[in-house]
Amino acid sequence: MTKQCYLRGFGSFAPPKVLTNDDLATFVETSDEWIKTRTGIEQRHIVDPGQCTSDLVTEAAKAALNDASLAVADLTHILVATFTPDAYCPNTACVVEDKLGTKGLMAMDMSAACSGFVYGLQVARGLVSISDNATILLSGAETMSSRTNWKDRNTCVLFGDAAGAVVISPTPGPNCAELIDVEVSSDGALRDLLTVTGGGSSMPYTLDQPVPAEHFVMMQGREVFKHAVRSMTSVCETLLERNGLTNADIDLLIPHQANMRIIDAVGKKLDMPEGKVFVNLQKYGNTSAASIPLALADARAQGAIKPGMTVLLTTFGGGFTWGSALLKFL
Ligand SMILES: CC(C)(COP(=O)(O)OP(=O)(O)OC[C@H]1O[C@@H](n2cnc3c(N)ncnc32)[C@H](O)[C@@H]1OP(=O)(O)O)[C@@H](O)C(=O)NCCC(=O)NCCS
C-alpha cells in the first residue's frame, strides 16, 4: 500500500564562482545579447578546480537537513540524481555519506539526466512505501562544467553547476509539502539527440588517447527544444487529469530551468499566467538534475511558495526522459 510521503526540508548550493555571458564572450564567439535573447541566461556558477559534485551535494544536504530540523543521524537513504558524478566508482552518494560523517545507509546514484530529480521523487516514494521509517536525502546535482565543451558555443553557454536537495519521509514536519503524485516517462529512440558518450562502454577510452569531443555534452538544440516543450506539457496534463485537477488549481509551476523560451512555451500551452511560473534560470543557467530542487529551494527562500499552495514540477532531459510531480505545501 502506498504510504503518504512528505518533502520536509529544502536546500541548495551553487559554487561561488560566477561566469557571466560577457566572460564567455572573451573565449568563445558569442555575446551577452545572443545568449539572453535565445535562452534568458545571464550567468552561471562554475566549480573551482578540485570542487566536485559530492561537495555541492554535501552543502545542499546540510541546508536541507537544517531546513527540516533533522540531523544526519536521522537519514536512512542517500539518493543522488546526476549524470556528472565524481567518478564511475565509487558512486557520489557514498562519497556524500562519508562527507556527511555517517555510514550504513543505502547510498545510490541515479541517472536520468535533467529529469533525475523527478525520477528520484518516484524512487523515494517507492522506498518510503516499503520501508518502516525511511528518511531519505534526495539530491539533484551536477558539475556540468566538467562535461562542457568550452569551444562549442552551441552548448557551452547553456549550462551551470549546482546542487539541490530535499529530505523525504513518511511523516510531515513544519513547512513541508506532501508529494501527491509523480508521473515519469522516456523515449530511448531519441537518445542520440542529447549525449555524453565518451568514456562509456559504447566508446571506451584507451591509455594515451586524447579526450574526444564526445566526452562532452553534444546536442541537437532545435530538436531537443521541440520535444522538451511537447513532453513537459503533456506529462503535466496527464498528472493533472489523473488527480482531477486543472491548470487553475495550480498556484505555481516550477519547470526545468533549461531555456526561457522553453519555459514560456510550456507556460503558454498549460495556460499558466507568467506570475505563476517560477524562473531562476537567469542566475544559474541549466543545472540539469539540480535545476528543480534548486528552484524549489529558491522559491521557498523568496516566499514564492506559501503554505496551502499546490505546486506542479515538470522536467525534461537526455534519454529522452521527462516527468512531472504534484506537491501540496502544508
Ligand atoms: C541551443 C538553442 C538556444 C539555440 O537556439 P536556436 O534559435 O535554435 O539557434 P540555432 O541552433 O538555430 O542557431 C542559430 C545561429 O546562432 C548561432 N549560435 C549558436 N550558438 C550561439 C552562441 N552561443 N552565440 C552566438 N551565436 C550562436 C548558430 O551557429 C547559428 O548560426 P548560423 O545561422 O550562422 O548557422 C536552442 O536550440 C535551445 O534552447 N535548444 C534547447 C536546448 C536545451 O535546453 N537543452 C537542454 C534540455 S534538457
Residue 296 scores a pLDDT above 60:
yes
Confidence of residue 1 (pLDDT cuts 50, 70, 90): low
Main-chain phi, psi angles of 201, to 5 degrees:
-70, -15
pLDDT number for residue 76: 98
Distance CA 326, CA 239 (A): 8
Task: Please determine, for residue 10, whether its predicted confidence score (pLDDT) is greater than 70.
Answer: yes
Question: Average pLDDT, whole number, for the chain?
Answer: 97
Which residues on adjacent β-strands are paired with residue 323? 184, 315
pLDDT, tens only, 151-202: 999 999 999 999 999 999 999 999 899 999 999 999 999 999 999 999 999 9
* Amino acid letter, 186: S
| Complete DSSP assignment for 234-283 | HHHHHHHHHTT--GGG-SEEEE--S-HHHHHHHHHHTT--GGGB---HHH
SS3 196: coil
| Burial degree of 109 (CB within 10 A; 0-12, 13-18, 19+) | buried
- Where are the domains positioned within the chain? 6-174, 179-329
Residue of the nearest CA to atom 44 in ligand 1? 258
C-alpha cell of residue 7: 518533502
Is the C-beta atom of 221 inside 6 A of ligand 1? yes
Can you give the pLDDT at residue 2?
A: 72
pLDDT at residue 292 in the model = 98
The 3-state DSSP composition of the chain as helix, strand, coil percent (nearest 5) reads 40, 25, 35
User: What would the mean pLDDT of 261-275 be, rounded to a whole number?
Assistant: 97
227 C-alpha to ligand 1 centroid (Å): 15
Please write the tens of the pLDDT for every residue from 277-289.
999 999 999 999 9
- Would you say the CB of residue 317 lies under 6 angstroms from ligand 1? yes
CA–centroid distance, 221 to ligand 1, in Å, is: 6
The reported pTM is 0.97
Tens digits of residue pLDDT in 140-164: 999 999 999 999 999 999 999 999 9
CATH superfamily, domain 179-329, is Thiolase/Chalcone synthase (3.40.47.10)
Which residues are identified as catalytic? 114, 256, 286
CATH number among 3.40.47.10, 3.30.70.3340, 3.50.50.60, 3.40.920.10, domain 6-174: 3.40.47.10
6-174 and 179-329 share one fold = yes
What integer pLDDT is reported at residue 175 of this predicted model?
87
| Nearest-CA residue for atom 30 of ligand 1 | 154
What pLDDT, in 10s, does the model give residues 103-128?
A: 999 999 999 999 999 999 999 999 99
Mean of the pLDDT values across residues 258-285? 97
